[in-house]
Structure 1
Amino acid sequence: MIRVDRLFRLQRPSLDQAHQRLSVLILLFAAGFLVVAGRAVDLGVFQYAGDPAAPVNPAEADHRWQRAEIVDRRGEVLATTVASQWLYADPRRIQKPEETALALAEILPGQTAGDILRRFRRPKEFVWIEHNLTPSQVAAVNALGEPGLNFKTGSLRLYPHGRLAAHALGYTGIDGEGLAGLEKFFDRRLTDPARLDEPLRLSLDLRVQHAATDELALAMDEFQAKGAVALVMDVHSGELLSLVSLPDYNANRYATATPEQKRNRATYEIYEQGSALKAVTIAAALDAGLVRLDDRIDATKPIRIAGYTIHDFHGQRRDLTVPEVFTYSSNIGSARLGDTLGAERQKRFFRQVGLLSPADVEVTEVSAPRYPERWGRIHTMTASFGHGVSISSVQLAQAMAAMVNGGRLQPATLLADADRQGRHRGRQVISPETSAVMRQLMRVAVVKGTGSFADVPGYRVAGKTSTAEKPGQTGGYDHDRVLSSFTGVFPAETPRYLVFAMLDEPHGTEATYQFAGGGWVAAPTVGKIIARIGPLLGVEPRPADQTFIREAALLVQEKD
């Protein structure tokens, strides 16, 4: 009989051998798992990194490309994200590369068979073919029966209103990143996972935007202008209810837009805005106590200074009261008021009303103003009537709003009040009393001056025309190329809204007697916009109160 302890000693080598074999199997299995996992990481991350059209990690794409909606002040959707089908290929499994490439080129506009075939020949297991296919395109691809073609559910940033407000909204790229406008400015906010269900609410009103775009496009076509801008602003909050830049583009097809169409003329383009700055000059002089309304300003003859001549378009050749300087848009009178202010005081006031710093509006396409480094006497005179200082239309609008809203500069914003969270804080720039006088002057300029075509029965429009010759190619100014604008506010006694329209290089027509100035082309455009948006905004029409402007109006003689 074999003893038990000897039996265990006889079996021990067999047990040790079994343990060794099991350990080897475990090690082999672990090694195999690491190889598979490593290959998966390579396919999921590194393989796609070489293809600029592919996301870094398709498995995470759906989450990474989610964006919050953008809505107007009334909750109308301006930008949203929807699911879409993206076509990709595994070149190793494409059975008939040439035939498949030709067929796909027929299904996908903008794609060529040669380009698709080159992608098929890449030494990869994954290449993108096309993003955002329509249902009919998906069906056509499936009908090819090619096993190497597959779909992935991606996302598409959709702008339901196409061209409307395109320059304010901007657009996103294929990878979901904001590339322009609000989409770029608020990219982090719109992609914050904690706020994806919280729409970004804008100050824009889709109804107002449509009316302003419609009327501006008609004016641009009628006067054959190369570009145009329209703004509608709440004068007390700085909220922009409309921002229009023409020509524009369809944000859903931004890749096909030209640089000219993408250019935001309201915030990015800067211009010598012309006579509108006479309002700023007069307000500065009145607020500083340097002049009174009934003071007489010498406008009997042109001013010659530093080799330049400052003259009036239709000079009165006499002394003018301050209301007459404004109503008849006298360059000579404004230059003398600027000279009275002096360079330092004028420059300080321009800075105070936001003309010497970029507009703090929520798009990325914003330009800094351009002005002389050395602000001499000649610059003071020319700046007083809007030459020599180049600013954006939004800068001008917010400065003009401050002239009439009680004297408070409220920076322009594209955010509705609930979303602003104190981002913009206004400041007092002129006294309420000076602001009240400016309202009178702007109303008189419409009733008795160059802005008469902007008036709308019941809405008591006040405002200022501007016709600025553009700088010439070889110095000086080009008399045949002008920037024509009108800045209007309504109702005049207690303004609520500012409406600005500008036409770049308009041409006169038979109806305007070939004139293309602000009073002929921009003022009527503003009047038409006001007539359409006044009822939408709840502004009640009522008869004009002539006693409101009596003091200023009595100081304006009829033109000679």
Structure 2
Amino acid sequence: MIRTPLRPLARILRARERGENPDDIEAENRRARHEKIQDRARRRAEGRLVLLAACFIFAYGLVAVRMGTLAHSSPSEPRAAVLSAQIMSQRADITDRRGRVLATNLLTHSIYAHPHQMVDPIGAARGLARIFPDLSEEKLIADFTGSRKFMWIKRKISPEQMQAVHDIGEPGLLFGPREMRVYPNGPIASHILGGSGFGNEGVNSAEVIGIAGVEKAFDAWLRDPANDGAPLQLSIDLTLQQAMEEVLASGMDVMNAKGATGILLEIASGEIMAMASLPDFDPNDRPRPLLTGEPSDSPLFNRAVQGQYELGSTFKIFPVAQAIDLGLINPSTQINAQAPMRIGKFLINDFHNYGRTLSTTDVIVKSSNVATVRIAQMIGVDRQKDFLEKLGLFVPTQIEMVEAPTGQPLVPSRWPAVTSATVSFGHGLAASPLHLAAAYATIGNGGKRVTPTLIHNRQRPEGEQILSPRAAAMAVDMLRQVVTRGTARKAEVEGYEIAGKTGTADKPRAAGGYYKNKVIATFASVFPASDPKYVLIVALDEPSIETAAGESRTAGYTAVPVAAEVVRRIGPLLGLHAIGDENLPMINARFEPRVEPGEDPELKLVANQ
């Protein structure tokens, strides 16, 4: 901007010639300059006022349009409403392997309120509090007499409750149709199914979504209209599942255990026919997750899939089978069993003194830590790690549940000689019972890797040959001898040829170290040994039972008898052996300890009278 000088030289000279005062010229120019400045400031201020006024008009216009839209719309929660017909057709049933329904949809209603339309809000609040005892009468009165225009009362109500609300006769109480997910068998297979809840919902519809288990893992598939309502068929058998849960619950009670896990897996297909975790829950009324304490304290915790346990001596069959496969030993090879054994500054000992040597078979039968470590040393660290990795013990299982990734095994970051030694007898590497079931299934499958699945008749590629059939068969034979003359004699059930291995491992403390009086007792088995068809895993968390010799926590006295009772119950259902009426599965059964003179207690299944 070019500014006019206040005292232009030409005008000053002319003024002096005419005898005028030059200061008048300066005063006139200064006034003109101030007027221009004021004009510019006024125009700028006027522009700002116009812009601000336009913004206010636009904002108030938007508010007015939105208020008008809301005034002419149906009340709903601030989430997208969808058509009920679309929702109803988008979630398929879930069935067991025989087509029996495990999860389905049921037409029900929700109830909501328009407080501003109520004739007697206080009477309505009192009536609702009588019908639904979990509702607070005081809170309902406050909401109904306040400024709210819409509120949910109940997302799901029964026909009886709907009729009772009708009888209140309040026009401000309204109903909306919707479908809800129902689990007709209650807590049976609850950890597998997981549960469901509502996603997008409005007064006339609600979207059912999976929140855990296979419900969430297959949520998109269950809601896909392209499936034309076809059910999701799981591999589990409802009858076997119920039988296993009943026996585990009774065994938990007798063994004073904190929790229990059972897995029945079909070796040829990898299909899980039953998988239980106790304590459990009812997916129709799924509890809230615990915010404090250990995860395993919650009934929502799936011990079979999410549990990370050192599984003790059940691991001993792995180095033995691998060494046989490598040609390093055979079942009759004599192994140095002298104890204690020193590795660096650590001593490794045995529960009993087994003498100078043991045959390879007796290493498994008598469960010698020292001899197992000797075999692991023959194999070497690198080959040991490679074999365990091929068994799937380093990664989460591929089971079709959203909880599977949380079952990541706890694998040592370093693998010195002492780690190799402890891992060979099941300490220092923590995995889930489902990992153990898959590994034992691989041995029972002639050495071909088995990947567990919860889907029936699922086509999958053949597993990798990890062990030779000869080594796998020898391993099964050794496991059979553990039952006939070793630490699992209480697992002998006539006619079923159970082959298995016990494992008792101290529970680790969260702050480091191990508890002295808390263990995980596990029995891993395959049967029948002459033609392995099934794997059965039974694990008890913190069991304890009184025996003739005092208190015992070992798997041979806790997990093994429970596993034997599971086989007695499910064996006839599997059609493996024709047995007499006295051994048929009994309804409403429970465990009772029976002590014969000079013997340790045995657990027998007796019918409630």
TM-score by length of 2: 0.78
Moved more, 498-507 or 127-136: 127-136
The DSSP-based 3-state class of the residue aligned with 1:255 is coil
**What does residue 217 of structure 2 align with?**
185
In structure 2, C-alpha distance between the alignment counterparts of 1:135 and 1:292, rounded to whole Å: 69
Which deviations, in whole Å up to 9, do the C-alpha atoms of 1:37-87 show, x marking residues without a partner? 97379835xx6353xxxx521x51442254100000001100000101110
- Give the 3 Å change call, closer, same or farther, for CA 538–474 of structure 1 in structure 2: same
In structure 2, C-alpha distance between the alignment counterparts of 1:425 and 1:126, rounded to whole Å: 58
**What does residue 98 of structure 2 align with?**
74
Whether contact under 8 Å (1:342, 1:377) holds in the other structure is no
Unaligned runs of 5+ in 1: 1-33, 543-560
The DSSP-based 3-state class of the residue aligned with 2:373 is helix
- Find the partner of 1:43 among 73, 78, 89: 73
In structure 2, C-alpha distance between the alignment counterparts of 1:308 and 1:99, rounded to whole Å: 76
**What does residue 141 of structure 1 align with?**
165
**What does residue 443 of structure 1 align with?**
480
Whether contact under 8 Å (2:523, 2:537) holds in the other structure is yes
Whether contact under 8 Å (1:229, 1:265) holds in the other structure is yes
The DSSP-based 3-state class of the residue aligned with 2:176 is strand
Q: Does 2:447 match 1:415?
A: no
The DSSP-based 3-state class of the residue aligned with 1:266 is helix
- Give the 3 Å change call, closer, same or farther, for CA 41–321 of structure 1 in structure 2: farther
- Find the partner of 1:427 among 457, 464, 469: 464
- Give the 3 Å change call, closer, same or farther, for CA 319–425 of structure 1 in structure 2: same
Number of positions where the alignment pairs a residue of Structure 1 with one of Structure 2:
499
Whether contact under 8 Å (1:276, 1:386) holds in the other structure is yes
Unaligned runs of 5+ in 2: 1-63, 200-207, 291-296, 580-609
**What does residue 19 of structure 1 align with?**
none
- Find the partner of 2:234 among 194, 197, 202: 202
The DSSP-based 3-state class of the residue aligned with 1:327 is helix
**What does residue 3 of structure 2 align with?**
none
Q: Which has the larger radius of gyration?
A: 2
Which deviations, in whole Å up to 9, do the C-alpha atoms of 1:449-500 show, x marking residues without a partner? 0111111111111111111111245533323111101112111110111111
Where do 1:249-260 residues align within 5 Å? 249-255=281-287, 260=298
In structure 2, C-alpha distance between the alignment counterparts of 1:145 and 1:319, rounded to whole Å: 87
The DSSP-based 3-state class of the residue aligned with 2:298 is helix
The DSSP-based 3-state class of the residue aligned with 2:73 is helix
**What does residue 600 of structure 2 align with?**
none
- Find the partner of 1:64 among 87, 107, 110: 87
Q: CA deviation at 1:415?
A: 0.7
Q: CA deviation at 1:116?
A: 3.0
In structure 2, C-alpha distance between the alignment counterparts of 1:360 and 1:532, rounded to whole Å: 29
**What does residue 467 of structure 1 align with?**
504
Whether contact under 8 Å (2:440, 2:525) holds in the other structure is no
Whether contact under 8 Å (1:92, 1:148) holds in the other structure is yes
Taking only aligned residues, the RMSD between alpha carbons, in angstroms, comes to 2.2
**What does residue 357 of structure 1 align with?**
395
Whether contact under 8 Å (2:437, 2:537) holds in the other structure is yes
- Give the 3 Å change call, closer, same or farther, for CA 36–484 of structure 1 in structure 2: closer
In structure 2, C-alpha distance between the alignment counterparts of 1:438 and 1:122, rounded to whole Å: 74
In structure 2, C-alpha distance between the alignment counterparts of 1:118 and 1:155, rounded to whole Å: 30
The one-letter code of the counterpart of 1:342 is G
Q: CA deviation at 1:311?
A: 0.9
**What does residue 57 of structure 2 align with?**
none
Moved more, 511-520 or 442-451: 511-520
The one-letter code of the counterpart of 1:236 is A
The one-letter code of the counterpart of 1:463 is G
Q: CA deviation at 1:102?
A: 2.5
The DSSP-based 3-state class of the residue aligned with 2:515 is strand
- Give the 3 Å change call, closer, same or farther, for CA 481–306 of structure 1 in structure 2: farther
Q: Does 2:123 match 1:91?
A: no
The DSSP-based 3-state class of the residue aligned with 1:540 is coil
Moved more, 237-246 or 479-488: 479-488
In structure 2, C-alpha distance between the alignment counterparts of 1:466 and 1:60, rounded to whole Å: 55
- Give the 3 Å change call, closer, same or farther, for CA 207–197 of structure 1 in structure 2: same
Q: Does 2:372 match 1:344?
A: no
**What does residue 322 of structure 2 align with?**
284
**What does residue 544 of structure 2 align with?**
507
**What does residue 227 of structure 1 align with?**
259
**What does residue 426 of structure 2 align with?**
386
Which deviations, in whole Å up to 9, do the C-alpha atoms of 1:494-542 show, x marking residues without a partner? 0111111100000122468422211111111111111111111111359
In structure 2, C-alpha distance between the alignment counterparts of 1:217 and 1:194, rounded to whole Å: 41
The one-letter code of the counterpart of 2:308 is I
The DSSP-based 3-state class of the residue aligned with 1:88 is strand
Q: CA deviation at 1:118?
A: 4.9
Moved more, 355-364 or 258-267: 258-267
- Give the 3 Å change call, closer, same or farther, for CA 42–212 of structure 1 in structure 2: farther
Q: CA deviation at 1:123?
A: 5.0
In structure 1, C-alpha distance between the alignment counterparts of 2:102 and 2:350, rounded to whole Å: 46
Q: CA deviation at 1:95?
A: 2.3
Which deviations, in whole Å up to 9, do the C-alpha atoms of 1:214-240 show, x marking residues without a partner? 111111000111111000000111100
Which deviations, in whole Å up to 9, do the C-alpha atoms of 1:532-560 show, x marking residues without a partner? 11111111359xxxxxxxxxxxxxxxxxx
Where do 1:482-501 residues align within 5 Å? 482-501=519-538
- Give the 3 Å change call, closer, same or farther, for CA 496–41 of structure 1 in structure 2: farther
In structure 1, C-alpha distance between the alignment counterparts of 2:91 and 2:146, rounded to whole Å: 33
- Find the partner of 1:335 among 368, 373, 382: 373
Q: Does 2:274 match 1:242?
A: yes
The DSSP-based 3-state class of the residue aligned with 1:73 is coil
In structure 1, C-alpha distance between the alignment counterparts of 2:437 and 2:194, rounded to whole Å: 21
The one-letter code of the counterpart of 1:322 is T
- Find the partner of 1:269 among 291, 307, 327: 307
The DSSP-based 3-state class of the residue aligned with 1:173 is strand
- Give the 3 Å change call, closer, same or farther, for CA 157–326 of structure 1 in structure 2: same
In structure 2, C-alpha distance between the alignment counterparts of 1:90 and 1:415, rounded to whole Å: 46
**What does residue 574 of structure 2 align with?**
537
TM-score by length of 1: 0.85
Q: CA deviation at 1:140?
A: 1.2
The one-letter code of the counterpart of 1:484 is A
Which deviations, in whole Å up to 9, do the C-alpha atoms of 1:67-126 show, x marking residues without a partner? 100000001100000101110111211222233223212211322124434543675543
Moved more, 193-202 or 59-68: 59-68
Q: Does 2:554 match 1:517?
A: yes
